[in-house]
Amino acid sequence: MPEEKALRPAVFLDRDGTICEEMGYLNHLSRLHIFPFAAAAISRLNQAKLPVIVVTNQSGISRRIFPESLVAQIHRRMSDELSAAGARVDAYYYCSHTRQDDCSCRKPLPGLLEQAAREHGLQLDRSFVVGDRYADVELAHGVGGRGMLVLTGYGRGEYELHQQEWPRRPDSVVEDLSEAVDTILEEVS
């Protein structure tokens, strides 16, 4: 019987407000603006051999604000721009549903992470979720991982206005993705 390959941790990144500027609904390719620090931060995760996986809620599809094809275009453009700067996203997962839909994939529900774990051999309880909304932190905690809140995008407002309401604090609150990567690399070394 062959030896089972060990599961590995991953870094799950929210898209809007974490890697690129928060635009509300990113409903046109021209509105994609990747943060200047994002490629270098992701490249450091790549060098550490940590899978980098984007997980994003995209209910604008169900709301008919933009077509599903736009999400694929945005992810291709992101990959191209990041690649040109020496960084790589290993996979993209998105939920197209609204809160009213009965799905298991809309963050903070674990469906996207569970799918990624199956498809990429990941150990969720050793993984990190980085995002600008408390839902990203809840997502991490729901699978036993570490939740990190960045203060870019909606993060600063979420933190300053709502932290007293949170049932559990983020494992880390950091300025941006670059600082999140510093923290992750310290924890995994």
Q: Which amino acid is at 156?
A: R
Catalytic residues: 14, 16
Distance CA 165, CA 49 (A): 36
Alpha carbons within 13 A on the beta-carbon side of 13: 29
Token pair 């407000």 in the structure block, residue: 17
Question: How far, in whole angstroms, is CA 30 from its chain's centroid?
Answer: 21
With left for phi above 0 and alpha for psi between -120 and 50, is residue 17 left, alpha or beta?
A: left
